[in-house]
Structure 1
């Protein structure tokens, strides 16, 4: 295994592991705040129990996310030292502000978990709001750094050195809004559906348990709303990619020929040898319309790009199709639940709907992993788009395959520990007799 390949795999495994905990850290605090708000409004102890349960889960996942995120920060310097040497002074502001948001989240999460009955109810709820806001802000700041790698800004290039650095302009780069909006909505959608799937399983076993019914309602409200908004975000993101990274767009769509009225492809298998995407359902002119708001607009094809500057089209295209397919399924389930709830004035709890929620529950995380594959692999061969190649950034230190295997083993162990802890957490969830829950958690406030 080459040094470059080992470094890429280690970074991919680390990021793929960490991102699951990062997105849950963004979205789960919002759901616990909503649950507590219902408790403050209604005095129903089930909502308080729900908020406390989600808070304990958030604490477990936050701790593991902090560990894996710290490892990632070290890996940037150890695996990609030339990248950090060049980019550090430019993107340092984003990382610094993210650290501030992270510590704010940690402090107020502690207040939230240990402050029950120790601080006034409104103050306690506001601490949760700060956790939710700082968690979202932390994610936005990290993604803004990735956006800079796709559309570098805030400096002038003098040979191989960056001069006239403007950290704020780097933070607010051309891709920043599109990427952070798309990723934040993805976090809410993925986490909402994942949590909804867990409670749908329990509700399917016993529909009389109000705890799971109300948890399912909140989780679907958060996840379903985000899933319905995501296509709008995706449309905006596609337009930004078309303008700033046309080669990535071509790889995403399996577009080999530069042409007007370029078709939008559903499915398909790109073949770089023949320059064709086989077996795809093509909608004539739709790609030109979606990317440039004109059916006659020209879309750049991969055939007009030197092979050394092309990303692996098969990987990018399949990952993009996977992301879109997962998002569409989630959107359909969200529409099903939303329309039924509006018509019948209650949350649907039929066996087919609950099964659909369970089946859709992992798709958000699959879509996030696929989306990050599109973002990172689609930028290749550049680590900083058109500024620095990935081959120029990797460490010259050998033997990285040992490091890759070691870190993979650590992540596997952490994953097993998290699953065991969360299983213990869910075993404490209430059963059919909820009078005990209300008595313990308080029927009022």
Structure 2
């Protein structure tokens, strides 16, 4: 068996660790906003249902936040170990952007997280709400800097190559590069939508289990409003992001569409088996002129083809093609869930329609699946470049790292991360089984709950 290329192993290792890590910021970005909303509603209404929901979901937020910090630590080290040339060449651009993320967003999150989790009986209500709001702002600010750095790699601007490395000419052009706004809005909306799906699914589980206290119903109602608004918004943002990608990364769009020849009247392929070696598709099933209509807003619009560039400059088509369809298919399923919830609400049967609740339960993890699929489209579709059009992946690796060393660390990561994820699921399942504490079943008064430690969980059975 021929040895595996260190570049491929390095890509696999980074793909695994970043895919694992992104699950947790996706949830914490959305949950931080949800917690801010819950505490704001409690302060406005003094309805302790909102407080009980806050005390429950803040524990899940803390668990996911911790996992995000732990799983993200190794990413920066991999830049130095496996991708030293990438770090050397892009360091003057990406180093400050990632440094800004740590110095602003992470410090803001970490600084106020303790108050948010343990400050109920130590600070006033308004100061506690400020801490929650600042943690939520910090998660969004973190996404701002990380997505600015990633977007610059996709659509580099504001920097030029001098003496073998990038030099910044215009920081505003670097930060607000051509794809940044689209990617930032698309990703943050994905985080809030994913969180809405998690909350609606878990709340639907409680209702199906027989919860009649009103807490689960309140959470289910809020989450279904979130799905109703965010899912169509995400489809719209995704369309605009796709048009931006067509302008700046046309070959990525060609891979997304499975289109080999630059031509007009291109169908929207619902199913196909791309054959990269033969430069064709097998078993095509599509909608006539669909791709031209979506991308060019004209049935005879011209769509770029993969053959526009040499084979060495094309991304892995199959991964991009199917990841895109998985993401889009799930997106329209989320839209259907939101519309069904609206119909059930209009008929006064939001909490009584069992198939709707079962669908919500089934879709609980699918927001993460759609998010990962979207990132596969973005990152795999950028290949064979780390900085699109300017720096190839093959020129970004560490020249002296052996394939065996990367394979060994990848194996260790698989084992350690598998254990971490198992522990996460165990404690998450334990929290979900216990559920929000209820005064009717625990004997707690609302006043006692306000002073209770957020770590206290009493089974609602």
Q: Same fold (TM over 0.5)?
A: yes
Cα distance between partner residues in 2 of 1:252 and 1:380: 13
Quote how far apart the aligned CAs of 1:409 are: 1.4
User: Which deviations, in whole Å up to 9, do the C-alpha atoms of 1:99-133 show, x marking residues without a partner?
Assistant: 12112012222111112133222222222111112
1:307 aligns with 2:319: no
Quote how far apart the aligned CAs of 1:194 are: 1.8
Cα distance between partner residues in 2 of 1:79 and 1:238: 31
For residues 345 and 130 of structure 1, do their structure 2 counterparts lie closer, same or farther at Cα, with a shift above 3 Å needed?
farther
User: Which deviations, in whole Å up to 9, do the C-alpha atoms of 1:391-412 show, x marking residues without a partner?
Assistant: 1111221121001111121111
- Residue 407 of structure 1 is matched in structure 2 by 413
Cα distance between partner residues in 2 of 1:138 and 1:220: 27
For residues 159 and 405 of structure 1, do their structure 2 counterparts lie closer, same or farther at Cα, with a shift above 3 Å needed?
same
1:339 aligns with 2:357: no
Quote how far apart the aligned CAs of 1:77 are: 2.0
1:73 to 66, 72, 76: 76
Quote how far apart the aligned CAs of 1:431 are: 7.2
1:418 aligns with 2:421: no
- Residue 251 of structure 1 is matched in structure 2 by 255
2:138 to 131, 134, 137: 134
Q: How does 1:11-160 map to 2 (within 5 A)?
A: 11-99=14-102, 100-158=104-162, 160=164
Counterpart contact for 1:147–1:175, Cα < 8 Å? yes
Cα distance between partner residues in 1 of 2:305 and 2:185: 27
Quote how far apart the aligned CAs of 1:41 are: 2.6
Cα distance between partner residues in 2 of 1:335 and 1:253: 28
Q: After TM superposition, what 4+ stretches of structure 1 lie above 4 angstroms from structure 2?
A: 430-433, 440-445
User: Which deviations, in whole Å up to 9, do the C-alpha atoms of 1:18-52 show, x marking residues without a partner?
Assistant: 00001111001111122222222332222211101
Cα distance between partner residues in 1 of 2:217 and 2:133: 23
1:263 aligns with 2:264: no
SS at match of 1:157: strand
Cα distance between partner residues in 2 of 1:17 and 1:352: 31
User: Which deviations, in whole Å up to 9, do the C-alpha atoms of 1:121-153 show, x marking residues without a partner?
Assistant: 222222211111211121122111111111111
Counterpart contact for 1:31–1:222, Cα < 8 Å? no
Cα distance between partner residues in 2 of 1:426 and 1:362: 14
Q: How does 1:286-435 map to 2 (within 5 A)?
A: 286-341=290-345, 343-344=346-347, 347-396=350-399, 397-398=401-402, 399-430=405-436, 434=440
For residues 73 and 360 of structure 1, do their structure 2 counterparts lie closer, same or farther at Cα, with a shift above 3 Å needed?
same
For residues 34 and 344 of structure 1, do their structure 2 counterparts lie closer, same or farther at Cα, with a shift above 3 Å needed?
farther
For residues 371 and 207 of structure 1, do their structure 2 counterparts lie closer, same or farther at Cα, with a shift above 3 Å needed?
same
User: Which deviations, in whole Å up to 9, do the C-alpha atoms of 1:224-265 show, x marking residues without a partner?
Assistant: 422121011011011011000000000001011100232222
1:275 aligns with 2:279: yes
Q: How does 1:167-316 map to 2 (within 5 A)?
A: 167-316=171-320
Cα distance between partner residues in 2 of 1:345 and 1:441: 33
SS at match of 2:194: helix
Counterpart contact for 2:255–2:306, Cα < 8 Å? yes
Structure 2: tracts of 5 or more residues without a match = 452-461
Count of aligned pairs: 444
Q: TM-score, normalised by structure 2?
A: 0.91
Quote how far apart the aligned CAs of 1:312 are: 0.8
Quote how far apart the aligned CAs of 1:159 are: 6.3
Counterpart contact for 1:45–1:437, Cα < 8 Å? no
Quote how far apart the aligned CAs of 1:429 are: 1.9
2:11 to 8, 20, 33: 8
Cα distance between partner residues in 2 of 1:165 and 1:409: 43
Quote how far apart the aligned CAs of 1:332 are: 0.5
SS at match of 1:163: strand
SS at match of 1:260: coil
Q: TM-score, normalised by structure 1?
A: 0.94
CA RMSD after TM alignment: 2.1
Quote how far apart the aligned CAs of 1:345 are: 5.4
Cα distance between partner residues in 1 of 2:239 and 2:395: 33
Counterpart contact for 1:32–1:52, Cα < 8 Å? no
SS at match of 1:298: coil
Quote how far apart the aligned CAs of 1:294 are: 3.7
Counterpart contact for 2:217–2:351, Cα < 8 Å? no
For residues 442 and 350 of structure 1, do their structure 2 counterparts lie closer, same or farther at Cα, with a shift above 3 Å needed?
farther
